[in-house]
Structure 1
Amino acid sequence: MIPHGPDVVETLPRRWNTPPAAPPACRHTLTEHARLEWRTTDGGDPATTIQDFLTTHGLPVTDLTRPAHHDPTGICGASLYVSAAAGALITGAPPGPPTPAPALPDIAVVIHTHTDHPTPPAPPTTAPWWLGPWQPSWTPDQHATAVDTVRAAIARGDVYQVNLVGHAAAPYTGDPLPALARLGTLPGARYGGTLHGHGWALGCASPETLVEVTAGRIHTRPIKGTRPATTQGHRELLDSAKERAEHVMIVDLERNDLARIARTGSVQVDELFTVRRWCDLWQAESTISATAADGLGLADLLRAVCPGGSVTGAPKHAALTHIATTEPVGRGASMGALGWVGPGHLDLGLTIRTAAADPHRLHLWAGGGITWDSDPQAEVAEAAAKAAPLRAALAHP
């Protein structure tokens, strides 16, 4: 039997979320005004559902190029979460195997207004925090075999690159929200924050921008290429022909994604293969930007960028088909999007380095991009290295 006490997420008192990318001046003065939760079984078009809900509540998302201003007395903006499965459906690809955390919605939109009465501190829980052993959904050998399966698909010419993601779950007792909130304090967590609802919660430590739109200018910042954060690791990452080829492939994919929604000739690469640090890892990041086409709405933006190319592969649809048949369980809260939609500004992080809680278990996902030159054992080790800082933060009492 999985142990659980009275303070699991389904019985927690209602508390404020700490949405990533919310305006800093408003972040601690927000209150929930309205909420949408959607699952893939609900039917309909996810992108249109999101846009219509935001529009109904006064957020101007049918034309992201139109100037808009923040109202300190009205609707501030909205937290937006999109699962990997919803992202695949948005782009017309298979959603993948069933999620191991069905308590989580596939889309959550939380409309926020301002309050003069910030949330009081949460009462202390009665049960101490305890996190049990992690149980993976595939063994290291199964992960390595999946890498070889992708390499065979690349050899046949089916794909050029596929991102493989593994999952693990651990039982817990106590309140999971402080543990999930700790993820946002990890070094390099550009999209650190939490979001939760009845029976579910997620915490994010992502460094990666899926898409940002400000004043009609679109940015995406794919991350691809990892080494330990040592002097030698920095040198190895810069010198690795394999990592650079993998990275440039995704840059090209995301240039094409932006070109679908940009003014002709406006797409450009502002930075290419810049090495930045996340926790104890070096990672290579590029910045791609474009001017939004006239009248670009949120639904079309999501159709162009979801799911993110750095967590799918190239070509995107072919990679998603291989992912759906190769990974043992769904990606749940990971490899999707989480961030903020406000008047005149949208900023969504890619939910890598993300964990989720259902009433009885924490869930964590990690993986990496597979190319013909990938070494199966090295890929298994890289996924473990990405998960290690999150496991350590979640285990902290």
Structure 2
Amino acid sequence: MSGPHPDDVEALPQGEVDAPGAPPGCRGRLVETARLHWRTTDGGDAADLAQRFLTAHGLPVGDLTRPARHTHTGEGVCGAALYLSAAAATHTIGVSPGAPSPAPALPDLAVVVYRHTDRPPPPPPASPRRWRVGPWRESWTPAAHAAAVDAVRAAIARGDVYQVNLVGHAAADYTGDALPALARLAALPGARYGGTLTGPGWALGCASPETLIAVEGGRLVTRPIKGTRPATPAGRCDLLGSAKERAEHIMIVDLERNDLARVARTGSVRVDELFAVRRWCDLWQAESTVSAVPADGLGLADLLRAVCPGGSVTGAPKHAALAQIAALEPVGRGAGMGALGWVAPGRLDLGLTIRTAAVDGRRLHLWAGGGITWGSDPAAEVAEAAAKAAPVRALLAAG
């Protein structure tokens, strides 16, 4: 059901909850009690809608600084899965999202509230049809992708932007039950936000390693990832020694510091870790940790407006980068480059939906890209995006 209203819960499949960030000790004993779907065409503000809906269903998120404790017992509300598309995030800050999504069945905001139960529902029956993925069709050719990189470099030369993250899309027809295939993505090494979320006619699976925003030990935490090399000893040395990658990374760290400063206690923003090299599948990636003390009375809506869309998948300055993205990317970002995670009493943990696939009707969708600076080589950027998509494609293709 489109619009800012709960869907008919009874009509939805209710297997074991697999949303990223859901407490492991609760996953086998949760049932859905309410959900909200919203699209940018419905009007209103996604951040405000999410905050009001969660509060109305027993999850007060109007003040994230208020102490709260999750309980694993009883039949009360456990928490909620929260998904916010990149288009919803740009809409929330008053920026055009650009081209329409190639997966229109997916909502731009989904909030699903769960409660504990001693009698969890049985898993939905599996499809009798064999899982099969057809040929992938790219939304832009390698030449078109490379031309977009050159266009960003020209914008940097003019002084319009410093960095822009460009994202490509691919789609394939499929047969069979998509949910088990999407669930397999959680097994990819480094998938900190591995999990799935489903709704009528759509589902998404995430293998993201990147924290968009979390509340940990009373601090707001974001962990931007920027900089990629093959997971070989030579690749690690190359990443650590690359002045281009380090400069690109530090631009995004500064952007994240500024984003957090908008909703943080004055003087509390700090970089806890800078340019740490960690592994995701067969790639090395550079990650930093930025944290801050939330300002008094900070609510979920204001926090989402401050950090969404994520700096590592937009660029710097953020609004100027979004204008370049809207002009250059041939299709919308759909389920990619948004937010997905868990909200509960005393807990907020949202991942950035990179390394994320979605199904919309009978089509499977995947998004991948990378950050472009003046020093970017177009052919290398095309190859990097393909390398990021390859492990996800391979696992989705497995029978």
TM-score norm. by structure 2 comes to 0.95
The residue type paired with residue 50 of structure 1 is: A
1:14-42 superposed Cα distances (whole Å, 9 cap, x missing partner):
43441101112112221101000000010
The residue type paired with residue 55 of structure 2 is: T
The residue type paired with residue 270 of structure 1 is: D
2:30 is the alignment partner of 1:68: no
Q: Which residue of 1 aligns with 2:163?
A: 161
2:108 is the alignment partner of 1:106: yes
Aligned 1:271-290 pairs, distance under 5 A: 271-290=273-292
Q: Which residue of 1 aligns with 2:232?
A: 230
Q: Distance in 2 between matches of 1:167 and 1:347?
A: 26
Q: Distance in 1 between matches of 2:139 and 2:165?
A: 17
> Would you identify which runs of 4 or more consecutive aligned residues in structure 1 move more than 4 Å?
11-14
SS in structure 1 of the partner of residue 60 of structure 2: coil
2:219 is the alignment partner of 1:208: no
Structure 1 position 165, deviation (Å): 0.1
Q: Which residue of 1 aligns with 2:144?
A: 142
1:141-186 superposed Cα distances (whole Å, 9 cap, x missing partner):
0000000000000000000000000000000000000110001110
Q: Which residue of 1 aligns with 2:345?
A: 343
Structure 1 position 138, deviation (Å): 0.3
Structure 1 position 116, deviation (Å): 1.3
Q: Distance in 2 between matches of 1:231 and 1:262?
A: 39
The residue type paired with residue 62 of structure 2 is: T
The residue type paired with residue 18 of structure 2 is: T
Q: Distance in 2 between matches of 1:28 and 1:214?
A: 25
Q: Distance in 2 between matches of 1:13 and 1:92?
A: 35
Check the 8 A contact 2:192/2:207 in 1, yes or no: yes
Check the 8 A contact 2:14/2:31 in 1, yes or no: no
2:46 is the alignment partner of 1:46: yes
Check the 8 A contact 1:77/1:342 in 2, yes or no: yes
Check the 8 A contact 1:190/1:207 in 2, yes or no: yes
Q: Which residue of 1 aligns with 2:7?
A: none
Check the 8 A contact 1:67/1:215 in 2, yes or no: no
Structure 1 position 78, deviation (Å): 0.4
1:88-107 superposed Cα distances (whole Å, 9 cap, x missing partner):
11222111210000000000
Sequence identity percentage:
75
SS in structure 1 of the partner of residue 41 of structure 2: helix
1:299-319 superposed Cα distances (whole Å, 9 cap, x missing partner):
000010000000000000000
2:199 is the alignment partner of 1:197: yes
Q: Which residue of 1 aligns with 2:37?
A: 37
Structure 1 position 69, deviation (Å): 1.8
The residue type paired with residue 42 of structure 1 is: D
Check the 8 A contact 1:260/1:304 in 2, yes or no: yes
SS in structure 2 of the partner of residue 379 of structure 1: helix
SS in structure 1 of the partner of residue 27 of structure 2: coil
Decide which moves more: 118-127 or 316-325.
118-127
Check the 8 A contact 1:65/1:215 in 2, yes or no: no
In structure 2, do the counterparts of structure 1 residues 231 and 204 end up closer, same or farther at CA, with 3 Å as the change threshold?
same
Structure 1 position 123, deviation (Å): 2.5
SS in structure 1 of the partner of residue 331 of structure 2: coil
2:131 is the alignment partner of 1:132: no
Decide which moves more: 165-174 or 89-98.
89-98
Check the 8 A contact 1:16/1:32 in 2, yes or no: no
Please point out which of 90, 93, 97 is paired with 1:91: 93
RMSD: 1.2
Q: Distance in 2 between matches of 1:122 and 1:79?
A: 19
Q: Distance in 2 between matches of 1:123 and 1:45?
A: 37
The residue type paired with residue 351 of structure 2 is: G
SS in structure 1 of the partner of residue 332 of structure 2: coil
Check the 8 A contact 2:15/2:124 in 1, yes or no: yes
Check the 8 A contact 2:357/2:367 in 1, yes or no: yes
Please point out which of 266, 269, 290 is paired with 2:268: 266
Check the 8 A contact 2:126/2:177 in 1, yes or no: no
Check the 8 A contact 1:60/1:68 in 2, yes or no: no
The residue type paired with residue 85 of structure 1 is: A
Structure 2 unpaired stretches of 5+: 1-10
Please point out which of 210, 219, 222 is paired with 1:220: 222
Q: Distance in 1 between matches of 2:82 and 2:290?
A: 22
Q: Distance in 1 between matches of 2:236 and 2:69?
A: 42
1:320-357 superposed Cα distances (whole Å, 9 cap, x missing partner):
01101100000000000000000011000000000000
Q: Distance in 1 between matches of 2:296 and 2:210?
A: 26
Check the 8 A contact 1:214/1:344 in 2, yes or no: no
Q: Distance in 1 between matches of 2:51 and 2:218?
A: 17
The residue type paired with residue 213 of structure 2 is: V
TM-score norm. by structure 1 comes to 0.96
Structure 1 position 12, deviation (Å): 8.7
Q: Which residue of 2 aligns with 1:376?
A: 378
The residue type paired with residue 336 of structure 1 is: G
Structure 1 position 13, deviation (Å): 4.7
Check the 8 A contact 1:220/1:289 in 2, yes or no: yes
